[in-house]
Amino acid sequence: MSFDPSIGVPYYDVDFIGGFSEVFNSQTTVPACNIVAPGFEKASVWCNVTGHSMEPKINHGDIVALRRCTVQDIQYGEIYAVVLDSFRTIKILRRGSTPDVLRYVPINRTDFDDQEFPLSRILHVFEVLGSIARFF
């Protein structure tokens, strides 16, 4: 961890929901600190994960390394963090039932179902590069 803005990747103390609960989508504009983690130099930001829909691969409380991308960059079947107009979520993205929607697929299919949301609701897309467990 670093408090020097020139070292590491910014960590924003905001949550991406590992579920579909709608929450107020406030955005923190100032990072809490920077995370220095070898192997994650391509990350744009680090953020928190809340919820259980991506378990066991990404767990509640993990911190994820994200790299900003566009909708056109999406590789179907990969994991993305998506900021929609009313919430943030992390899911596997797949083609939707029509060209103007994406299907959001959880890993924990026992407790969570797929959902579709229109592309027009997407504000930002991030590729999930990996996660680290938080032990505090």
Domain spans of the chain, in order of start? 9-132
83 — phi, psi (to 5°)?
-100, 110
Rounded to two decimals, the pTM is 0.86
The tens digit of pLDDT for each residue in 25-83 reads 455 567 788 889 999 999 999 999 999 999 999 999 999 999 999 999 999 999 999 99
Instruction: Give 24's pLDDT tier (boundaries 50, 70, 90).
Output: very low
Q: Looking at residue 11, what is its pLDDT? A: 81
The span from the CA of 9 to the CA of 55, in Å, is 25
**23: pLDDT strictly greater than 80:** no
Average pLDDT over residues 17-22: 50
Token pair recorded at residue 58: 């990404």
Rounded to 5 degrees, φ, ψ at 15 are -105, 135
Residue 64: alpha-carbon gap to chain centroid = 7
User: Which of left, alpha, beta for 123 (phi over 0: left; psi -120 to 50: alpha)?
Assistant: alpha
d(CA 92, CA 80): 6
Dump pLDDT digits (tens) for 94-110.
999 999 999 999 999 99
Q: CATH fold of 9-132, please?
A: Umud Fragment, subunit A (2.10.109)
